[in-house]
Structure 1
Amino acid sequence: MALIVEFEIQTPILRRTVESVSRIEIEEIYQSETGQTKFISWVYGEDLEAVPAALAADDTVGEFTLLEEPEDRRLYSVTLSARGEDHLTYPTAAEYDIGYLEITVTGATRIRARVPTREALFAYRDVCREKEISFRIKRIFDESVATGDRYGLTERQREALLIALEEGYFDVPRETTLSAIAAKLEISDQALSARLRRGQANLLRNTVRERAPTS
Protein backbone atom coordinates (compact mmCIF):
# COMPACT_ATOMS: atom_id res chain seq x y z
CA MET A 1 0.00 0.00 0.00
CA ALA A 2 1.32 3.43 -0.95
CA LEU A 3 1.97 6.15 1.61
CA ILE A 4 0.80 9.74 1.86
CA VAL A 5 3.70 11.80 3.18
CA GLU A 6 3.68 15.44 4.21
CA PHE A 7 7.15 16.92 4.54
CA GLU A 8 9.10 20.17 4.48
CA ILE A 9 12.30 20.99 2.63
CA GLN A 10 14.44 24.10 2.86
CA THR A 11 15.27 24.88 -0.75
CA PRO A 12 16.35 28.20 -2.31
CA ILE A 13 13.90 27.73 -5.17
CA LEU A 14 11.48 30.72 -5.12
CA ARG A 15 12.73 31.60 -1.64
CA ARG A 16 13.55 35.21 -2.52
CA THR A 17 10.24 35.64 -4.31
CA VAL A 18 8.14 34.35 -1.42
CA GLU A 19 9.77 36.91 0.91
CA SER A 20 7.73 39.55 -0.93
CA VAL A 21 4.41 37.65 -0.91
CA SER A 22 2.41 35.51 1.52
CA ARG A 23 2.67 32.15 -0.30
CA ILE A 24 3.15 30.39 -3.61
CA GLU A 25 1.16 27.30 -4.63
CA ILE A 26 2.72 25.26 -7.42
CA GLU A 27 0.05 23.75 -9.68
CA GLU A 28 2.30 21.84 -12.04
CA ILE A 29 5.95 21.06 -12.75
CA TYR A 30 7.03 20.02 -16.22
CA GLN A 31 9.92 20.18 -18.66
CA SER A 32 9.74 22.29 -21.80
CA GLU A 33 10.79 21.01 -25.22
CA THR A 34 14.22 22.55 -24.60
CA GLY A 35 14.62 20.60 -21.34
CA GLN A 36 14.04 23.57 -19.02
CA THR A 37 11.96 23.05 -15.89
CA LYS A 38 8.82 25.16 -15.59
CA PHE A 39 6.45 25.77 -12.68
CA ILE A 40 2.84 26.86 -13.10
CA SER A 41 2.35 28.74 -9.83
CA TRP A 42 -0.31 30.76 -8.03
CA VAL A 43 1.16 33.68 -6.11
CA TYR A 44 -0.74 35.21 -3.16
CA GLY A 45 0.07 38.40 -1.28
CA GLU A 46 -1.04 41.88 -0.27
CA ASP A 47 1.16 43.66 -2.84
CA LEU A 48 0.85 41.63 -6.02
CA GLU A 49 2.29 44.47 -8.07
CA ALA A 50 5.64 43.71 -6.44
CA VAL A 51 5.73 40.13 -7.72
CA PRO A 52 7.48 40.82 -11.08
CA ALA A 53 10.33 42.63 -9.35
CA ALA A 54 10.64 39.82 -6.79
CA LEU A 55 10.77 37.18 -9.53
CA ALA A 56 13.31 39.18 -11.50
CA ALA A 57 15.56 39.43 -8.42
CA ASP A 58 15.26 35.71 -7.59
CA ASP A 59 18.41 33.92 -8.78
CA THR A 60 16.58 30.58 -9.00
CA VAL A 61 14.24 32.06 -11.66
CA GLY A 62 15.32 32.31 -15.28
CA GLU A 63 12.20 33.62 -16.99
CA PHE A 64 8.58 34.20 -16.00
CA THR A 65 5.30 34.99 -17.71
CA LEU A 66 2.06 36.27 -16.19
CA LEU A 67 -0.81 33.98 -17.25
CA GLU A 68 -3.81 35.16 -15.21
CA GLU A 69 -4.49 38.00 -12.77
CA PRO A 70 -7.71 37.70 -10.75
CA GLU A 71 -8.14 40.16 -7.88
CA ASP A 72 -6.55 38.16 -5.07
CA ARG A 73 -3.73 36.24 -6.78
CA ARG A 74 -1.57 35.89 -9.89
CA LEU A 75 -0.79 32.84 -12.03
CA TYR A 76 2.75 32.69 -13.40
CA SER A 77 4.71 30.35 -15.60
CA VAL A 78 8.22 30.29 -14.09
CA THR A 79 11.27 28.80 -15.79
CA LEU A 80 14.07 27.85 -13.41
CA SER A 81 17.58 29.22 -13.77
CA ALA A 82 20.69 27.01 -13.67
CA ARG A 83 20.87 27.56 -9.89
CA GLY A 84 17.23 26.57 -9.53
CA GLU A 85 17.84 23.41 -11.56
CA ASP A 86 20.78 22.51 -9.32
CA HIS A 87 18.49 22.43 -6.28
CA LEU A 88 15.51 20.75 -7.96
CA THR A 89 14.43 17.46 -6.35
CA TYR A 90 11.53 16.77 -8.72
CA PRO A 91 13.59 14.49 -11.06
CA THR A 92 14.39 12.28 -8.07
CA ALA A 93 10.71 12.14 -7.14
CA ALA A 94 9.85 11.09 -10.70
CA GLU A 95 12.62 8.46 -10.67
CA TYR A 96 11.12 6.80 -7.59
CA ASP A 97 7.46 7.18 -8.71
CA ILE A 98 6.75 9.78 -6.04
CA GLY A 99 3.75 11.88 -7.07
CA TYR A 100 3.46 15.42 -5.77
CA LEU A 101 -0.11 16.18 -4.66
CA GLU A 102 0.39 19.68 -3.24
CA ILE A 103 3.36 22.07 -3.07
CA THR A 104 3.19 25.28 -1.04
CA VAL A 105 6.09 27.68 -0.61
CA THR A 106 6.10 29.92 2.49
CA GLY A 107 8.84 29.98 5.13
CA ALA A 108 9.64 26.45 3.97
CA THR A 109 8.53 24.42 0.98
CA ARG A 110 5.75 22.11 2.14
CA ILE A 111 5.02 19.08 -0.02
CA ARG A 112 2.25 16.51 0.16
CA ALA A 113 3.13 13.45 -1.91
CA ARG A 114 2.08 9.93 -2.73
CA VAL A 115 5.07 7.65 -2.13
CA PRO A 116 5.04 3.99 -3.29
CA THR A 117 7.35 2.64 -0.56
CA ARG A 118 9.38 3.71 2.45
CA GLU A 119 12.50 2.83 0.50
CA ALA A 120 11.53 5.39 -2.16
CA LEU A 121 10.93 7.98 0.55
CA PHE A 122 14.35 7.37 2.12
CA ALA A 123 16.05 7.51 -1.29
CA TYR A 124 14.41 10.88 -1.94
CA ARG A 125 15.47 12.10 1.50
CA ASP A 126 19.06 11.05 0.84
CA VAL A 127 19.19 13.03 -2.42
CA CYS A 128 17.86 16.10 -0.58
CA ARG A 129 20.67 15.76 1.93
CA GLU A 130 23.24 15.35 -0.85
CA LYS A 131 22.02 18.66 -2.26
CA GLU A 132 22.30 20.17 1.25
CA ILE A 133 18.53 20.60 1.41
CA SER A 134 17.07 19.94 4.84
CA PHE A 135 14.24 17.38 4.89
CA ARG A 136 11.69 16.96 7.69
CA ILE A 137 8.69 14.62 7.72
CA LYS A 138 5.55 16.19 9.19
CA ARG A 139 3.05 13.36 8.71
CA ILE A 140 3.13 9.89 7.18
CA PHE A 141 0.28 7.41 6.87
CA ASP A 142 -1.07 4.64 4.66
CA GLU A 143 -3.03 5.91 1.71
CA SER A 144 -5.96 3.65 2.66
CA VAL A 145 -6.62 5.66 5.83
CA ALA A 146 -6.10 9.13 4.37
CA THR A 147 -9.14 11.25 5.24
CA GLY A 148 -10.78 12.74 2.16
CA ASP A 149 -7.95 11.39 0.06
CA ARG A 150 -9.43 8.39 -1.68
CA TYR A 151 -7.60 7.57 -4.91
CA GLY A 152 -4.86 10.07 -4.02
CA LEU A 153 -6.88 13.10 -5.16
CA THR A 154 -6.50 16.53 -3.62
CA GLU A 155 -9.71 18.43 -2.87
CA ARG A 156 -9.06 20.80 -5.78
CA GLN A 157 -8.49 17.91 -8.19
CA ARG A 158 -11.65 16.17 -6.95
CA GLU A 159 -13.70 19.35 -7.37
CA ALA A 160 -12.41 19.97 -10.90
CA LEU A 161 -13.02 16.37 -12.00
CA LEU A 162 -16.54 16.30 -10.55
CA ILE A 163 -17.55 19.57 -12.20
CA ALA A 164 -16.05 18.44 -15.51
CA LEU A 165 -17.98 15.16 -15.24
CA GLU A 166 -21.28 16.81 -14.27
CA GLU A 167 -21.01 19.45 -16.99
CA GLY A 168 -20.38 16.83 -19.68
CA TYR A 169 -16.73 17.61 -20.41
CA PHE A 170 -15.94 13.89 -20.70
CA ASP A 171 -19.00 13.11 -22.85
CA VAL A 172 -18.69 12.26 -26.56
CA PRO A 173 -19.34 14.74 -28.04
CA ARG A 174 -18.43 17.17 -25.25
CA GLU A 175 -21.26 19.16 -23.71
CA THR A 176 -19.01 21.95 -22.40
CA THR A 177 -15.57 23.48 -22.83
CA LEU A 178 -12.44 23.74 -20.72
CA SER A 179 -12.92 27.51 -20.62
CA ALA A 180 -16.46 27.21 -19.25
CA ILE A 181 -15.35 24.94 -16.41
CA ALA A 182 -12.35 27.17 -15.67
CA ALA A 183 -14.70 30.14 -15.39
CA LYS A 184 -16.81 28.27 -12.82
CA LEU A 185 -13.71 27.55 -10.75
CA GLU A 186 -12.30 31.05 -11.32
CA ILE A 187 -8.98 29.74 -12.60
CA SER A 188 -7.25 29.87 -15.97
CA ASP A 189 -7.70 27.29 -18.72
CA GLN A 190 -4.04 26.28 -18.28
CA ALA A 191 -4.39 25.81 -14.52
CA LEU A 192 -7.55 23.72 -15.00
CA SER A 193 -5.92 21.57 -17.67
CA ALA A 194 -3.01 20.85 -15.31
CA ARG A 195 -5.38 20.07 -12.44
CA LEU A 196 -7.42 17.65 -14.54
CA ARG A 197 -4.30 15.88 -15.84
CA ARG A 198 -2.88 15.46 -12.34
CA GLY A 199 -6.22 14.26 -11.01
CA GLN A 200 -6.63 11.73 -13.80
CA ALA A 201 -3.07 10.50 -13.26
CA ASN A 202 -3.79 9.97 -9.56
CA LEU A 203 -6.98 8.06 -10.37
CA LEU A 204 -5.12 5.79 -12.78
CA ARG A 205 -2.32 5.13 -10.30
CA ASN A 206 -4.81 4.19 -7.60
CA THR A 207 -7.24 2.15 -9.72
CA VAL A 208 -5.94 0.70 -12.98
CA ARG A 209 -2.27 0.38 -12.00
CA GLU A 210 -2.98 -0.78 -8.42
CA ARG A 211 -5.21 -3.56 -9.74
CA ALA A 212 -3.02 -4.60 -12.66
CA PRO A 213 -2.21 -8.35 -12.53
CA THR A 214 1.39 -9.24 -11.84
CA SER A 215 3.21 -11.62 -14.16
Structure 2
Amino acid sequence: MTVTTEFLLSSSSLPLVSLAESVTSNQFECVHGLCLEHDARVFVVYLEPTEDVSESDLLALDEVVEATALGRASGKDVYQVTIELADVISEAFAPERFTATQMEPTVVTPEGWYEKKLFQNYNAFNGMRTRCEEYGVDIELLSISQNAPEGDESSQYGLTDRQHEALTLAISRGYYESPRQVSTEELAQEMGISQPSMSSLLRRGERQLLTSALGTQTEIDTLSR
Protein backbone atom coordinates (compact mmCIF):
# COMPACT_ATOMS: atom_id res chain seq x y z
CA MET A 1 0.00 0.00 0.00
CA THR A 2 1.93 3.06 -1.20
CA VAL A 3 1.77 6.43 0.51
CA THR A 4 2.25 9.92 -0.89
CA THR A 5 4.11 12.30 1.39
CA GLU A 6 4.96 15.98 1.43
CA PHE A 7 7.62 17.17 3.85
CA LEU A 8 10.26 19.81 4.51
CA LEU A 9 13.88 18.81 5.07
CA SER A 10 15.94 21.22 7.17
CA SER A 11 19.68 21.15 7.83
CA SER A 12 22.55 23.60 7.65
CA SER A 13 24.32 20.96 5.53
CA LEU A 14 21.73 20.88 2.73
CA PRO A 15 23.24 22.29 -0.48
CA LEU A 16 21.87 25.26 -2.45
CA VAL A 17 19.81 26.70 0.42
CA SER A 18 21.96 29.83 0.38
CA LEU A 19 21.06 30.28 -3.30
CA ALA A 20 17.36 30.32 -2.37
CA GLU A 21 18.14 33.01 0.19
CA SER A 22 19.76 35.19 -2.49
CA VAL A 23 17.08 35.08 -5.22
CA THR A 24 14.12 37.45 -5.06
CA SER A 25 11.50 34.68 -5.14
CA ASN A 26 13.22 32.86 -2.23
CA GLN A 27 12.76 29.54 -3.98
CA PHE A 28 13.61 27.53 -7.08
CA GLU A 29 13.23 23.97 -8.35
CA CYS A 30 15.96 21.39 -8.74
CA VAL A 31 16.23 17.71 -9.62
CA HIS A 32 18.72 15.41 -7.93
CA GLY A 33 19.32 11.68 -7.61
CA LEU A 34 19.92 11.31 -3.88
CA CYS A 35 17.07 8.81 -3.50
CA LEU A 36 18.77 6.59 -6.07
CA GLU A 37 22.42 7.12 -5.13
CA HIS A 38 23.32 8.54 -1.73
CA ASP A 39 26.47 10.16 -3.15
CA ALA A 40 24.81 11.67 -6.25
CA ARG A 41 26.53 14.98 -6.87
CA VAL A 42 24.86 16.29 -10.01
CA PHE A 43 21.88 18.62 -9.58
CA VAL A 44 19.81 20.27 -12.31
CA VAL A 45 18.64 23.72 -11.23
CA TYR A 46 15.74 25.68 -12.77
CA LEU A 47 15.84 29.45 -12.25
CA GLU A 48 13.60 32.28 -13.39
CA PRO A 49 15.40 34.42 -16.01
CA THR A 50 14.51 37.53 -13.98
CA GLU A 51 16.77 36.26 -11.18
CA ASP A 52 19.76 36.96 -13.47
CA VAL A 53 21.89 34.18 -11.96
CA SER A 54 25.02 33.27 -13.93
CA GLU A 55 27.43 30.34 -13.93
CA SER A 56 29.86 32.51 -11.99
CA ASP A 57 27.24 33.18 -9.34
CA LEU A 58 26.67 29.45 -8.92
CA LEU A 59 30.41 28.72 -8.76
CA ALA A 60 30.70 31.30 -6.00
CA LEU A 61 28.67 29.00 -3.72
CA ASP A 62 30.91 27.02 -1.37
CA GLU A 63 29.35 23.65 -2.23
CA VAL A 64 29.36 24.07 -6.04
CA VAL A 65 32.45 22.75 -7.83
CA GLU A 66 31.16 22.94 -11.40
CA ALA A 67 28.30 24.76 -13.15
CA THR A 68 27.15 24.52 -16.76
CA ALA A 69 24.31 26.41 -18.46
CA LEU A 70 22.05 23.98 -20.35
CA GLY A 71 19.76 26.55 -21.96
CA ARG A 72 16.11 27.30 -21.27
CA ALA A 73 13.17 24.95 -20.64
CA SER A 74 9.58 25.83 -19.77
CA GLY A 75 10.57 29.47 -19.55
CA LYS A 76 13.33 28.87 -17.00
CA ASP A 77 17.11 28.98 -17.20
CA VAL A 78 18.51 25.50 -16.62
CA TYR A 79 21.90 24.77 -15.06
CA GLN A 80 23.70 21.55 -14.26
CA VAL A 81 25.75 21.89 -11.10
CA THR A 82 28.13 19.47 -9.43
CA ILE A 83 27.93 19.60 -5.65
CA GLU A 84 30.45 18.74 -2.96
CA LEU A 85 28.04 17.00 -0.60
CA ALA A 86 28.49 17.15 3.16
CA ASP A 87 29.09 13.70 4.65
CA VAL A 88 25.90 13.85 6.74
CA ILE A 89 23.78 14.46 3.64
CA SER A 90 25.48 11.70 1.69
CA GLU A 91 24.91 9.26 4.57
CA ALA A 92 21.36 10.36 5.38
CA PHE A 93 20.15 9.60 1.86
CA ALA A 94 20.85 5.88 1.83
CA PRO A 95 18.60 4.28 -0.81
CA GLU A 96 19.36 0.78 0.47
CA ARG A 97 17.50 1.73 3.67
CA PHE A 98 14.26 2.87 2.02
CA THR A 99 12.49 3.05 -1.33
CA ALA A 100 11.13 6.40 -2.50
CA THR A 101 10.10 7.89 -5.82
CA GLN A 102 10.35 11.62 -6.44
CA MET A 103 6.95 12.83 -7.66
CA GLU A 104 7.85 16.49 -8.30
CA PRO A 105 11.09 18.48 -8.45
CA THR A 106 12.55 19.51 -5.11
CA VAL A 107 11.68 23.08 -4.18
CA VAL A 108 14.66 24.70 -2.44
CA THR A 109 13.75 27.47 0.02
CA PRO A 110 15.65 29.35 2.74
CA GLU A 111 13.97 26.99 5.25
CA GLY A 112 15.22 23.86 3.44
CA TRP A 113 14.00 21.42 0.80
CA TYR A 114 10.32 20.87 0.10
CA GLU A 115 9.85 17.31 -1.19
CA LYS A 116 6.94 15.27 -2.53
CA LYS A 117 7.72 11.55 -2.58
CA LEU A 118 6.01 8.21 -3.02
CA PHE A 119 6.96 5.46 -0.54
CA GLN A 120 6.12 1.75 -0.53
CA ASN A 121 4.37 2.08 2.84
CA TYR A 122 4.34 4.02 6.10
CA ASN A 123 7.27 2.01 7.40
CA ALA A 124 9.42 3.02 4.42
CA PHE A 125 8.76 6.70 5.11
CA ASN A 126 9.49 6.24 8.81
CA GLY A 127 12.75 4.55 7.82
CA MET A 128 13.81 7.61 5.87
CA ARG A 129 12.73 9.94 8.66
CA THR A 130 14.69 7.99 11.26
CA ARG A 131 17.74 7.81 8.99
CA CYS A 132 17.72 11.55 8.32
CA GLU A 133 17.22 12.49 11.96
CA GLU A 134 20.17 10.27 12.93
CA TYR A 135 22.32 12.53 10.75
CA GLY A 136 20.88 15.82 11.93
CA VAL A 137 18.44 16.40 9.07
CA ASP A 138 15.05 17.43 10.47
CA ILE A 139 11.85 16.37 8.69
CA GLU A 140 8.62 18.31 9.09
CA LEU A 141 5.81 16.13 7.72
CA LEU A 142 3.31 18.34 5.92
CA SER A 143 0.94 15.68 4.60
CA ILE A 144 0.71 11.93 4.14
CA SER A 145 -1.99 9.97 2.32
CA GLN A 146 -2.52 6.32 1.53
CA ASN A 147 -2.95 5.35 -2.12
CA ALA A 148 -5.38 2.69 -3.27
CA PRO A 149 -3.54 -0.40 -4.54
CA GLU A 150 -3.54 -1.11 -8.26
CA GLY A 151 -6.47 -3.31 -9.12
CA ASP A 152 -7.88 -2.64 -5.63
CA GLU A 153 -6.91 -6.08 -4.31
CA SER A 154 -8.17 -5.34 -0.81
CA SER A 155 -11.69 -4.57 -2.09
CA GLN A 156 -11.61 -7.66 -4.25
CA TYR A 157 -11.33 -9.90 -1.18
CA GLY A 158 -13.28 -7.69 1.21
CA LEU A 159 -10.24 -6.70 3.28
CA THR A 160 -9.93 -3.34 4.98
CA ASP A 161 -6.86 -1.29 4.09
CA ARG A 162 -5.28 -2.06 7.47
CA GLN A 163 -5.96 -5.78 7.15
CA HIS A 164 -4.40 -5.75 3.68
CA GLU A 165 -1.37 -3.83 4.98
CA ALA A 166 -0.94 -6.17 7.96
CA LEU A 167 -1.19 -9.35 5.88
CA THR A 168 1.16 -7.99 3.21
CA LEU A 169 3.73 -7.06 5.85
CA ALA A 170 3.38 -10.46 7.55
CA ILE A 171 3.95 -12.34 4.30
CA SER A 172 6.92 -10.18 3.30
CA ARG A 173 8.58 -10.71 6.70
CA GLY A 174 8.12 -14.49 6.70
CA TYR A 175 5.40 -14.69 9.36
CA TYR A 176 3.72 -17.55 7.51
CA GLU A 177 6.94 -19.49 6.92
CA SER A 178 7.74 -22.62 8.92
CA PRO A 179 9.40 -21.86 11.22
CA ARG A 180 8.18 -18.27 11.51
CA GLN A 181 10.79 -15.62 10.71
CA VAL A 182 9.14 -12.85 12.70
CA SER A 183 6.79 -12.46 15.66
CA THR A 184 3.54 -10.52 15.96
CA GLU A 185 5.34 -8.22 18.41
CA GLU A 186 7.91 -7.33 15.73
CA LEU A 187 5.22 -6.84 13.09
CA ALA A 188 3.25 -4.63 15.47
CA GLN A 189 6.34 -2.50 16.06
CA GLU A 190 6.79 -1.98 12.31
CA MET A 191 3.17 -0.88 11.92
CA GLY A 192 3.27 1.28 15.04
CA ILE A 193 0.45 -0.56 16.84
CA SER A 194 0.09 -2.87 19.85
CA GLN A 195 0.68 -6.61 19.64
CA PRO A 196 -3.00 -7.43 20.41
CA SER A 197 -4.11 -5.06 17.63
CA MET A 198 -1.70 -6.71 15.19
CA SER A 199 -2.93 -10.19 16.12
CA SER A 200 -6.52 -9.03 15.68
CA LEU A 201 -5.79 -7.53 12.25
CA LEU A 202 -4.15 -10.74 11.07
CA ARG A 203 -6.88 -12.96 12.49
CA ARG A 204 -9.73 -10.93 10.96
CA GLY A 205 -7.87 -10.61 7.67
CA GLU A 206 -7.21 -14.34 7.52
CA ARG A 207 -10.87 -15.09 8.25
CA GLN A 208 -11.96 -12.66 5.51
CA LEU A 209 -9.63 -14.28 2.97
CA LEU A 210 -10.84 -17.77 3.89
CA THR A 211 -14.46 -16.68 3.72
CA SER A 212 -13.88 -15.13 0.29
CA ALA A 213 -12.21 -18.30 -0.94
CA LEU A 214 -14.52 -20.89 0.68
CA GLY A 215 -17.80 -19.03 0.94
CA THR A 216 -19.94 -18.00 3.92
CA GLN A 217 -20.17 -19.96 7.16
CA THR A 218 -23.57 -21.33 6.05
CA GLU A 219 -22.07 -22.62 2.80
CA ILE A 220 -19.14 -24.17 4.70
CA ASP A 221 -21.50 -25.88 7.16
CA THR A 222 -23.54 -27.25 4.26
CA LEU A 223 -20.45 -28.65 2.54
CA SER A 224 -19.21 -30.28 5.75
CA ARG A 225 -22.39 -32.34 6.29
Q: Does 1:118 align with 2:127?
A: no
Q: 1:44 aligns with which of 42, 48, 53?
A: 48
Aligned to 2:20: 18
Unpaired stretches in structure 1, ≥5 consecutive residues: 151-213
Once the two structures are superposed, residues 147-205 of structure 1 have per-residue CA deviations (whole angstroms, 9 ceiling, x without a partner) of xxx9xxxxxxxxxxxxxxxxxxxxxxxxxxxxxxxxxxxxxxxxxxxxxxxxxxxxxxx
Q: Does 1:76 align with 2:79?
A: yes
Shift of 1:131: 1.9
Once the two structures are superposed, residues 118-166 of structure 1 have per-residue CA deviations (whole angstroms, 9 ceiling, x without a partner) of 1211111112112211111000001239xxxx9xxxxxxxxxxxxxxxx
Unpaired stretches in structure 2, ≥5 consecutive residues: 151-171, 173-225
Aligned to 1:29: 33
Aligned to 2:187: none
Q: Residue 9 and residue 82 in structure 1: after superposition, are their counterparts in 2 closer, same or farther (change >3 A)?
A: closer
CA root-mean-square deviation: 3.2
Aligned length: 145
Contact 2:97-2:127 within 8 A present in 1 as well? no
Shift of 1:88: 4.0
TM-score (norm 2): 0.54
The structure number with the bigger radius of gyration is 2
1:34-183 residue pairs with structure 2 within 5 A? 37-44=41-48, 46-48=50-52, 50-69=53-72, 72-83=75-86, 86-88=88-90, 91-93=93-95, 95-102=97-104, 103-107=106-110, 108-144=112-148
Shift of 1:62: 2.0
Q: Residue 26 and residue 82 in structure 1: after superposition, are their counterparts in 2 closer, same or farther (change >3 A)?
A: closer
Q: Aligned letter for 1:7?
A: F
CA distance in 2, matches of 1:115, 1:15: 25
Q: Which secondary structure state, in structure 2, belongs to the residue aligned with residue 126 of structure 1?
A: helix
Q: Which secondary structure state, in structure 2, belongs to the residue aligned with residue 59 of structure 1?
A: coil
Q: Which secondary structure state, in structure 2, belongs to the residue aligned with residue 46 of structure 1?
A: helix
Aligned to 1:7: 7
Q: Which secondary structure state, in structure 2, belongs to the residue aligned with residue 19 of structure 1?
A: helix
CA distance in 1, matches of 2:74, 2:101: 31
CA distance in 2, matches of 1:101, 1:71: 18
Aligned to 1:205: none
Q: Aligned letter for 1:14?
A: L
CA distance in 1, matches of 2:90, 2:50: 28
Shift of 1:82: 4.0
